[in-house]
Amino acid sequence: MGATAVGTKVFFAGGQSLNGFNYSVVDIYDNSTGLWTTANLSVARSGLSATTVGTKAFFAGGGAVVDIYDNSTGLWTTANLSVARADLSATAVGTKVFFAGGSAGGPIGPIIFFCS
């Protein structure tokens, strides 16, 4: 499961059940209203990591897809990692999002996303 916050919202995305079922659900808590809502990732998966840059939250892992939520518009978009991977790490510095490590069946280096 990947977790991050953007604005007044906290996101908990993906995960896996005890029987190996991957989830696409994103649970969203809005601290300003005290309400929970849900959304869906573009693909059900586990082994996610998440981070935030500006008004955008990024969810990657469990495959090649990166789901991106823009808090200023409320819209979801996607991008792709160069190599599908799971159980990776994520962080951000300035306008750059970094995804690194994880498992992909062989050696893999970091991936950098540039966010505007």
Closest to 23 in 3D by CA, of 51, 42, 5: 42
Q: What is the pLDDT of residue 112?
A: 55
Chain Cα centroid distance, residue 38: 14
Q: What is the pLDDT of residue 102?
A: 77
> What is the rounded average pLDDT of the residues 70-91?
92
Task: Provide the CB-side half-sphere exposure for 93 (13 A, CA).
Answer: 3
- pLDDT category at 8 given cuts 50, 70, 90 is very high
Q: What is the pLDDT of residue 20?
A: 86
- Distance (Å, whole) CA 116 – CA 96: 9
> What is the rounded average pLDDT of the residues 14-35?
94
Place of tokens 């007044």: 8
**pLDDT at 83 exceeding the cut of 70:** yes
CATH 2.120.10.30 assigned to domain 2-114? The reply is no
